[in-house]
Each structure stands twice: as structure tokens, then as C-alpha cells.
């Protein structure tokens, strides 16, 4: 065994920026390249915006202006501005900031004094300007190192703070901001801070009615069973209705932070709804029947909140304040009192709620027998047919920690050759493979009963463990990996329909992706390029001076396991499946998967014409 020395020379002291740059995951979670919503560049953005929001919550500044161009971010608020004598300290000294003074920031998101320091340390360029009472001060940094500091000078600018930064490309490899992710987060800020105007790249985000606006923009009014219930109190706001979808749909927030993983406040909210409904109707309904098809939102304000990670996606606080009531009792008491009062005052809405519960109860009992047989079938199939090649994080391995589980991925493939290649090339610890047999059923317009009657859909549901919702989802990323031909696209569309029809929360919570695989391999004797588009192919041919062997991959099965390892490893390209705020899922599925209509025919013809025009243009270029 090799002896490793351990002396004084092995002991190292790092300054604040060195530690953040060496261990960025401790401060912002995973790094990523911007392709997923929780990637580090969005955490940097959030940390700065959170400070602007805290100013608004404290009653200062009604506008925030955000611009992002070529990766460079500019954020300007109109709050009080950082005290000028502390501008440098606030962005470069750990454990320095106004959030430690609970009198100044009682119910803010950022309480650890790290946020903007992490942004500074992880940026190639960082600039902060504070404007306060007719004076200003500016400081500039590179990789966290102060490079320029101005003196306090007179200024005609309105009070507030301007932060500019460019994420370090050496840390965030090939990063790219996706406007869809940013816009969704900005809408959350707007809903939770009624009256605040946020302007992002000249587009305005504004809400007058808070969580009521949120649910109205997230749902199809025609599919709701009763009007949205909107209730507000001190430090709490809720909105609630029932739709026609399967599963539950919740949006939860603490001090303006979107707690995507829920926490004590959301658990209490779900519990309170069940208790209130049971007591109001004096019937011991099954909780599942009450919760099915719920669309709800909750926002609470907590003093000194405790989150379970630096990225603040799950609330761990047990109390509203150090000496206050528990979060659970606070939420339950509010919901029981105010929701019950609402149902008493709005009899027709209460009757509609009751009918929806009774419908869920009837449907659950109807499929109970089928479900039992299907579960037995699924258990047998998983053991003997090996449709699921599981990953070691889940497979008889209890050692996988929570951070590692966030890296788990399942590839849904079609056919033995494709699944075989991915299975051989995958990271067996965190990546799993599920193999479909043929094309899945078109599940549009079907009831949940069909999921249990159809063997493929039932086995897929069990592989993901989503029968009772997303709480047990076994993989953080669900990736559709099909061929880039007509059949592959059709299978992809059928899978998208399945998820949107029965498990839309998988899409809403950003768990569903499309695997991008190369269309071409361009190589000579010395170099190989894998190209994902016609444009990349042409660039590769030029790079090889036109002397190249070109292979067109027609299917995943044609790509060798050795090659596949590069496509599903560090260089994996995933296209997230996104739904915009105003997208109505039922209308979307009806258009693409319902009866063939004249509108859809025209859509196909028009898009086919565009594609043919592009092919013709490319052929002309080749001839030239």
C-alpha cells in the first residue's frame, strides 16, 4: 500500500472566492450548461433578483429591469441601494450583509449572506453600482478579485442597485440562458409580489391578483369544476380549484422562493384541504379522492426560514418564527377556518367540489380490480422480461445520497438494438434503460383505466413509480430516446401524449427530456466529428477540407456502444420538454392527437413545405 504523507504542507487555507470556485456545488447546487431549470447560471440570476425582491417586500422600489445579452446579465432595482461604504464588503466578504439584521429584512429569501458573493466568485466579470440619496459607488471584479473601485460621487440616478455579471465559461461549460426558464421564474416573482413590475429584455411581467392570476394562467377555465378559490391572510395566501386532469398540481412558495420540492408548508396545505373537506361534508372520504385533480398554490412568509439546501427548493422550517407557531398548525388553522367559511358561503361551488370527489371515488373503485392484476403483471414482467435495466443508485443499493439521486436518468427506447447500445454505454450507477415493444398506444382522450389494461404503459408507469404521483418518481430525468426518423418521431409523440394525458406534472416540473443524437458522423483518418444538424455537417466537412467519410445514422441501433458513451455521458445533449404558462394541455393534445382536422392538415403541409424548401436550398449550395 502506497504511503501518503500528511504534514503541515498538506493543510491549506482558502480565501472566500477560492473556496467558492473550488466547491461551487456547496453554494449553488449543480453547475450544468443552462439546459435544465436548476442549473447554476439560473441560481446566480436568482441570487441577485432575490435581493431586489427583498427590497420590494420591505416597501422600496416598484420596478426591476433585467437584460441578458450574449450571456451577460444586467439587473437594476430601485430599492434603497446598498449603503455606499459597504458596497465592496457586501459582494466580496462572506458573512457580511443586511440579511443578518432581522429588523431590516424580517422575511427575506436570502439569509446566509453568501448569494452575491457566489455570483461574484463564479463570474468572469462582475460589477456592482449602488445609488443612494444622490450619491453612487461602483466596484468591478474578475473571478471574485477586486479590479476597480470608485470613490463615492454625486449621482442623478434614482436610488437602487445595479449588478452586472458574466458567468465564468470555464466553470459553466458552453452555458446558454434559456428565456423560457427565466420567464417562468419571473412570472412567479410577479405573482408573489402583486404590483411589482419586472421588465426582462423589454417584456413586462406584472400581476395584480397574485396566486389567483397564477392559477388562471396555468389552467384552462373550461376544464375547471368550480371557480378558483382565492384566500389571503397575514403571511399566507392560497388558491385552489379542481380540474379534469389526473393527479395533483401544486405551486408552493416561501418568502417569494419557488419551493419546487415542497416542504413543511405544502405538506400542511395538502393535509388541511383533506381535513377541511371531510369535516365540511361530514364524510370520511379517501384522501386520494379529495386530492385527485386538485390545482392549488400556497405562499407563506416565514421569519428566518430553514431550507434543506442552498438552492432553497424545499422548506425545512418547523416554526413560522423562532418563538412562533409551527408552520403546520399555522397553515392548517388558516385553511380550515377560511376554506370552510368559503364553502358555506358558496353552496354551488361546494356542490361542484363534492361531485368531483364522488367522480374520483367512482373511477378509483372501477379500476381497483384491474389495477391489482396489472400490478401483479408488472411485478412479474420486471423480474422475468428485464424491460427495465435499473441503475445501481436504486438497485439494491442504499448508499446513494440525495445529490446523486438528482443525477439519475432513465432512457425510454424502442427496440432491442437501441436499448442494447445504450445499456452497454450507460453509466450503470446513475443511468437506467426502459425498452418499449413497438409503438405505444395513443392514449389521448382515454381514462386512467387504459394505463392498467395496456401492458406497455402499465410497465412504464411502474418503472418510473409514478402510479400515485411524482413523490416517488425514481429518476430525476426521464429521457425519450427514439430514432430521428418518421417512426421514431411518432413514438416520441405517443410518449409525450401519455405523459401529458396522465402525468402532466412530469412535464411541468421539468423532468421530461428528448435525447438529441447525432445525425451524421464526419471523419477522416485523424479526426471525427459527430453532427446533430445539416449545418454542423457542412462545418465538419469544411474543417476536414472536404475530404471526409460521411455516415448518416438512420437509427439508434446503428450507433455503436463505444460511440454512444460519448453521447450520453458528459457531452449529452438533452432538449427539455417545456410548457408555456398559457398552454392548455387538453387543447394541445386535441390538436395534435385528436381527430384529423383541416387546421392540422394545413399545419403539416405548411411545415413540410418549409422543410422541403430548406432541403432544396441546401442542394443548391452543394451544387455550387
Most confident of 180-184, 315-319, 364-368: 180-184
Q: What's the half-sphere exposure (Cβ side, CA atoms, 13 Å) at 460?
A: 27
**Mean pLDDT highest for which of 10-14, 28-32, 181-185, 238-242?**
238-242
Q: Is the pLDDT of residue 71 over 80?
A: yes
562 class by beta-carbon count within 10 Å (0-12 exposed, 13-18 middle, 19+ buried): exposed
Q: Per mean pLDDT, which range of 92-106, 284-298, 305-319, 356-370 is the poorest?
A: 92-106
The set of cell numbers assigned to 479 is: 429521457
Tell me the average pLDDT across 524-536: 87
User: 29 falls in which pLDDT band (50, 70, 90)?
Assistant: confident
pTM of the complete model: 0.73
Quick: pLDDT tens for 592-606. 777 766 676 676 666
Least confident of 369-383, 430-444, 530-544: 369-383
Question: Which range, 329-343, 367-381, 434-448, is most confident?
Answer: 329-343
Q: Where are the domains of the chain?
A: 16-205, 212-366, 368-517+562-593, 520-552, 598-624
Query: Domain spanning 16-205 has what CATH number?
Result: 3.30.565.10
Q: Decide if pLDDT at 281 tops 50.
A: yes
Q: Which of 181, 190, 205, 287 is nearest to 509 (CA)?
A: 181
Model confidence at 519, pLDDT cuts 50, 70, 90, reads confident
Mean pLDDT on 98-103: 45
Q: What is the model's pLDDT at position 452?
A: 85
Mean pLDDT, the chain, whole residue set:
82
> Which residues, 6 or more positions from 187, have their beta carbon under 8 angstroms from its beta carbon?
205, 207, 214, 217, 581
Q: In the chain, pLDDT over 90 holds for what percent of residues? A: 36
3-state secondary structure string across 94-118: CCCCHHHCCCCCCCCCCCCCCHHHH
Closest listed residue to residue 75, CA positions, set 176, 199, 256, 181: 199
CATH number of the 212-366 domain: 3.30.230.10
CA of residue 509 relative to chain centroid, distance = 5
Sheet hosting strand 229-233, strand order edge to edge: 229-233, 236-242, 294-300, 249-254, 257-258
- Over range 444-450, report the average pLDDT: 85
d(CA 312, CA 298) in angstroms, rounded, equals 16
How far is it, in rounded angstroms, from Cα 36 to Cα 38?
Answer: 6
Tell me which CATH code domain 368-517+562-593 carries: 3.40.50.670
pLDDT-wise least confident of 202-206, 221-225, 251-255, 549-553: 221-225
Over residues 326-330, mean pLDDT = 88
Query: Using one digit for the tens of pLDDT, what is the confidence trace for 533-569?
Result: 888 899 999 999 888 899 888 777 778 888 777 778 7
Which residue did the predictor score with more confidence, 315 or 303? 303
Q: Is the pLDDT of residue 396 over 60?
A: no
pLDDT at 387 over 50: yes
Q: Which of 107-116, 451-460, 542-551 has the lowest mean pLDDT?
A: 107-116
Q: Give the C-alpha distances (Å, rounded to integers) separating 423 from 117, 222, 415, 573.
A: 42, 44, 12, 17
* Across 291-304, average pLDDT: 89
- Of 107-116, 254-263, 320-329, 572-581, least confident by mean pLDDT is 107-116
Does 16-205 match 212-366 in CATH topology? no
Range from 301-310, 508-517, 549-558 that averages highest in pLDDT: 508-517
DSSP string computed for 590-624: HHHHSS--HHHHHHHHHHHHHHHHHHHHHHHHHH-
Q: Which residue has the higher pLDDT, 394 or 10?
A: 394
Residues 6+ apart with CB under 8 A from 504: 245, 247, 249, 579, 585
Output the nine-digit C-alpha cell for 495: 410518449
Q: What's the pLDDT score for residue 107? A: 53
Q: What is the mean pLDDT of residues 418-445?
A: 86
Over range 245-261, report the average pLDDT.
Answer: 83
Amino acid at each position: 500500500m502506497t504511503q501518503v504523507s500528511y504534514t503541515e504542507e498538506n493543510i491549506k487555507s482558502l480565501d472566500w472566492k477560492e473556496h467558492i470556485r473550488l466547491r461551487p456545488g456547496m453554494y449553488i447546487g449543480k453547475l450544468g450548461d443552462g439546459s435544465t431549470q436548476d442549473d447554476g447560471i439560473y441560481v446566480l440570476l436568482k441570487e441577485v433578483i432575490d435581493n431586489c425582491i427583498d427590497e420590494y417586500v420591505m416597501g422600496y422600489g416598484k420596478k426591476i429591469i433585467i437584460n441578458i445579452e450574449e450571456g451577460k446579465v444586467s439587473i437594476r432595482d430601485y430599492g434603497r441601494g446598498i449603503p455606499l461604504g459597504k458596497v465592496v464588503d457586501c459582494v466580496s466578504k462572506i458573512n457580511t450583509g443586511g440579511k443578518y439584521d432581522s429588523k431590516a429584512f424580517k422575511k427575506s429569501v436570502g439569509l446566509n449572506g453568501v448569494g452575491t458573493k457566489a455570483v461574484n466568485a463564479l463570474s468572469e466579470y462582475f460589477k456592482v453600482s449602488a445609488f443612494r440619496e444622490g450619491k453612487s459607488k461602483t466596484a468591478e471584479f474578475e473571478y471574485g478579485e477586486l479590479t476597480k473601485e470608485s470613490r463615492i460621487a454625486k449621482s442623478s440616478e434614482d436610488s437602487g442597485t445595479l449588478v452586472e455579471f458574466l458567468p465564468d465559461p470555464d466553470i459553466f461549460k458552453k452555458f446558454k440562458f434559456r428565456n423560457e426558464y427565466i420567464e417562468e421564474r419571473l412570472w412567479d416573482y410577479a405573482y408573489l409580489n402583486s404590483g411589482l413590475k419586472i421588465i426582462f429584455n423589454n417584456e413586462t411581467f406584472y400581476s395584480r391578483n397574485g396566486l389567483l392570476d397564477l392559477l388562471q394562467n396555468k389552467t384552462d377555465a373550461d376544464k375547471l369544476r368550480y371557480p378558483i378559490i382565492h384566500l389571503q391572510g397575514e403571511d399566507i395566501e392560497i388558491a385552489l380549484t379542481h380540474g379534469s386532469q389526473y393527479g395533483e398540481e401544486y405551486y408552493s412558495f416561501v418568502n417569494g422562493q419557488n419551493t419546487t420540492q415542497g416542504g413543511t408548508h405544502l405538506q400542511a396545505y395538502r393535509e388541511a384541504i383533506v381535513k377541511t373537506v371531510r369535516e365540511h361534508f361530514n364524510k370520511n372520504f379517501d384522501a386520494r379522492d379529495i386530492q385527485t385533480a386538485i390545482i392549488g398554490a400556497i405562499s407563506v412568509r416565514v421569519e428566518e426560514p430553514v431550507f434543506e439546501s442552498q438552492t432553497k427548493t424545499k422548506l425545512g422550517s418547523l416554526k413560522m418564527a423562532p418563538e412562533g407557531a409551527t408552520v403546520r398548525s399555522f397553515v392548517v388553522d388558516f385553511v380550515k377556518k377560511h376554506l370552510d367559511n368559503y364553502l358555506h358561503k358558496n353552496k354551488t361551488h361546494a356542490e361542484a367540489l363534492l361531485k368531483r370527489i364522488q367522480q374520483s371515488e367512482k373511477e378509483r373503485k372501477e379500476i381497483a380490480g384491474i389495477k391489482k392484476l396489472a400490478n401483479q403483471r408488472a411485478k412479474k414482467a420486471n423480474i422475468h422480461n428485464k424491460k427495465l435495466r435499473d441503475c445501481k443508485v436504486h438497485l439494491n443499493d442504499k448508499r446513494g445520497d440525495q445529490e446523486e439521486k438528482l443525477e439519475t436518468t432513465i432512457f425510454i427506447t424502442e427496440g432491442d438494438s437501441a436499448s442494447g447500445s445504450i445499456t452497454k454505454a450507460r453509466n450503470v450507477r446513475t443511468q437506467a434503460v426502459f425498452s418499449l415493444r413497438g409503438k405505444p398506444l395513443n392514449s389521448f382522450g382515454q381514462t386512467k383505466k387504459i394505463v392498467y389494461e395496456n401492458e406497455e404503459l402499465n410497465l412504464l408507469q411502474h418503472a418510473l413509480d409514478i402510479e400515485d404521483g411524482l413523490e416517488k418518481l425514481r429518476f430525476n430525468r426521464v429521457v425519450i430516446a427514439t430514432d430521428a426518423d418518421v417512426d421514431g418521431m411518432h413514438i416520441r409523440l405517443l410518449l409525450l401524449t401519455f405523459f401529458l394525458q396522465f402525468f402532466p406534472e412530469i412535464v411541468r416540473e421539468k423532468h421530461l427530456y428528448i435525447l438529441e443524437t447525432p445525425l451524421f458522423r464526419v471523419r477522416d483518418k485523424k479526426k471525427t466529428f459527430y453532427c446533430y444538424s445539416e449545418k454542423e455537417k457542412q462545418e465538419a466537412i469544411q474543417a476536414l477540407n472536404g475530404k471526409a467519410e460521411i455516415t448518416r445514422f438512420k437509427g439508434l441501433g446503428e450507433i455503436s456502444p463505444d460511440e454512444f458513451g460519448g453521447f450520453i455521458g458528459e457531452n449529452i445533449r438533452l432538449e427539455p420538454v417545456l410548457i408555456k404558462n398559457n398552454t392548455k394541455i387538453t387543447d394541445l393534445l386535441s390538436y395534435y392527437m385528436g381527430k384529423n382536422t383541416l387546421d392540422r392538415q394545413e399545419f403539416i403541409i405548411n411545415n413540410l413545405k418549409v422543410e422541403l424548401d430548406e432541403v432544396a436550398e441546401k442542394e443548391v449550395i452543394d451544387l455550387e
